[in-house]
Amino acid sequence: MKLILFGPPGAGKGTQAKMMIEAFRLPHISTGDILRSEVKNNTELGREAKTYMEAGKLVPDSLVTEMVKKRLSAPDIAKGFILDGFPRTEAQAKSLDKILPGGVDKAIYLKTSEDIVVQRLTGRRVCPKCGTNYHLRNMPPKKDMLCDQCLVELYQRPDDNEATVKNRLHVYLQESEGVLSYYRKQGKLENISGDLDSKDVFSDIKKIISSLK
Ligand code: AP5
Ligand code: ZN
């Protein structure tokens, strides 16, 4: 199964991907996670990407596409994968079809309202060790501000402040229609509501996946 999770920042792509990995044992490829790890390790790519990410802008297509191409050449993707955060522009979608002859099976679009994504992003807290997402109100950790599994302190992503969130949404609105119509034309687009509770979103995703089997 070759799947794309698409949607605005804060739609719940990372949260759903985590649930899908556990249920379907597919590798999760998040361009945001790969880029954040490059920034943390202060690599050349990380240094280049950092300024764009902190401003809520997209990292140039060429850099991200090269990074995805490399990741998709690894042996673990033979069974399939979940792509989260890529493609984000029509140019990236076209490049993906060149990298993967036949393309993906489905692009799952988590359509989510703007007020909901702002509330989700500003309240998000992340475990630095295992990457689990929490939310101050919607999915609070069991104990203080510690990850339930790792018991380390959660942090707020530097791009989750209100000003950067606004820029990320602006960029999303500019680029999303190109990606959506690209997959709509291919008959691969599946719309579901990202506004629902995460369990209900997951149950809609499972229905799409079972239609593929
Ligand atoms: P990236 O990391 O991909 O960020 P994003 O797309 O903005 O998405 P998020 O990770 O913020 O949100 P999400 O949809 O995963 O939501 P989550 O599950 O965490 O990219 C970051 C940056 O990297 C970009 O700005 C760009 O600079 C660069 N980049 C990455 N890919 C790129 C590309 N392809 N091209 C160019 N540049 C690229 O959920 C959010 C919160 O809500 C959490 O707190 C969660 O607990 C809560 N929540 C989730 N689901 C629900 C629910 N159903 N109900 C209630 N609460 C929920
Ligand atoms: Zn953790």
Domain that holds residue 44: 2-112+188-210
The answer as to whether 81 is a domain residue is: yes
pLDDT given at position 99: 95
Residue count of the chain? 213
Mean pLDDT within 4-32: 95
The answer as to whether 66 is a domain residue is: yes
The answer as to whether 40 is a domain residue is: yes
Stronger pLDDT, 79 or 31, i.e. the higher one: 31
Which of 6, 3, 15, 185 is CA-nearest to residue 112? 6
Q: Output the pTM of the full model.
A: 0.95
33 Cα to the center of ligand 2, angstroms: 15
Q: Are 165 and 115 in contact (CB under 8 A)?
A: no
pLDDT(95) > 90: yes
Mean pLDDT within 19-36: 95
With cut-offs at 50, 70 and 90, classify the pLDDT of residue 79.
Answer: confident
pLDDT(68) > 90: yes
Q: What single letter denotes the amino acid at residue 188?
A: K
pLDDT given at position 4: 98
Q: Which two tokens stand for residue 31?
A: 């361009």
Pocket residue to mutate for ligand 1, from 29, 51, 59, 205, most atoms within 8 A of Cβ: 59
pLDDT given at position 101: 87
Q: Are 34 and 71 in contact (CB under 8 A)?
A: yes
What does the DSSP 8-state code read for residue 58?
Answer: P
With cut-offs at 50, 70 and 90, classify the pLDDT of residue 206.
Answer: very high
Pocket residues for ligand 1 (CB within 6 Å)?
A: 7, 9-15, 31-32, 35, 52-53, 56-59, 64, 85-86, 88, 92, 120-121, 124, 133-135, 138-139, 159, 168, 196-198, 201
The answer as to whether 137 is a domain residue is: no
Neighbours of ion ligand 2 (CB under 5 A): 127, 129-130, 132, 147, 149-150
The answer as to whether 144 is a domain residue is: no
What does the DSSP 8-state code read for residue 194?
Answer: S
Query: For the segment 45-65, what is each residue's pLDDT rounded down to a tens digit?
Result: 999 999 999 999 999 999 999
Query: For the segment 97-150, what is each residue's pLDDT rounded down to a tens digit?
Result: 999 989 999 999 999 999 999 999 999 999 999 989 999 999 999 998 999 999
Mean pLDDT within 196-209: 97
Q: Percentage of the chain with pLDDT > 90?
A: 94
The answer as to whether 51 is a domain residue is: yes
What does the DSSP 8-state code read for residue 107?
Answer: E
pLDDT(213) > 80: no
Query: Which residues in 78-100 are b (16+ Cβ under 10 Å) and which e?
Result: eebbbbbbbbbbbbbbebbeeeb
- Beta strands at 124-126 and 133-135: parallel, antiparallel or unpaired: antiparallel
Query: For the segment 161-184, what is each residue's pLDDT rounded down to a tens digit?
Result: 989 999 999 999 999 999 999 999
In the chain, the number of structural domains is 1
Q: Are 134 and 124 in contact (CB under 8 A)?
A: yes
pLDDT given at position 205: 98
Q: How many CA atoms lie within 13 A of 131 on its CB side?
A: 12
Which of 179, 149, 22 is CA-nearest to residue 86? 179
The answer as to whether 67 is a domain residue is: yes
| Phi/psi-derived region of residue 158, left when phi > 0, alpha when psi is between -120 and 50, beta in every other case | alpha
The answer as to whether 61 is a domain residue is: yes
Rounded to whole angstroms, the Cα distance separating 204 from 193 reads 9
Residues at the binding site are: 10-15, 31, 36, 57-59, 85-88, 92, 124, 127, 130, 147, 150, 157, 168, 196
Q: What is the CATH number of the domain that holds 66?
A: 3.40.50.300
